[in-house]
Amino acid sequence: MVSDARRASDWFSFAERTDVLSGAGKGEKRRQYGRWGRRTSEIDQEVIEFAPPLSIAWKHTAERMDGKPAPVFASASVFRIDLEADGEETVVHLRTQQLPADGLKRIAMRVFGNSDISRRMEESLIRLVRAVSS
């Protein structure tokens, strides 16, 4: 479920839709459509690690808000999902790593972005449990 771009909207709170643009597995190019507050967002992604059923990671290659280039807060953004067997259950680790573009962007990301990202990642985990259960 977590490696299939078409299923992202079922559980990933950042995605209303994710399209595969080219490739499969490592190197796959995707475009994720969603919302950030009241604005529409588009994030171009490249899968940089693909080891099903254990992990997948992608980097952002472009970000747009309302169809225009988004303000650059991070010079690099990577999202990673790792799955770990725990008896009959699976532990899911969602991680994001963002390299601030500069010192002021680092402060802005800490003050304004971290809590929203954390909240949406928690929401994603809840949605993932529901999606797997149904």
Domain parsing of the chain, residue ranges: 5-133
| pLDDT of 122 strictly over 90 | yes
Residue 129 region, left (φ>0) first, then alpha (ψ -120 to 50), else beta?
Answer: alpha
- Whole-number pLDDT of residue 100: 81
CB 34 within 8 A of CB 16: yes
Query: What percentage of the chain reaches a pLDDT higher than 70?
Result: 99
- Whole-number pLDDT of residue 35: 93
Is domain 5-133 in CATH 3.40.1080.10, yes or no? no
| pLDDT of 40 strictly over 90 | yes
| pLDDT of 126 strictly over 90 | yes
Q: Which of 94, 81, 89 is nearest to 120 (CA)?
A: 94
Residue 81: pLDDT band with limits 50, 70, 90: very high
Helices within 70-113 (DSSP H only):
103-108
CB 55 within 8 A of CB 82: yes
CB 28 within 8 A of CB 53: no
Q: Which residue has the tokens 């080219």?
A: 22
CB 41 within 8 A of CB 60: no
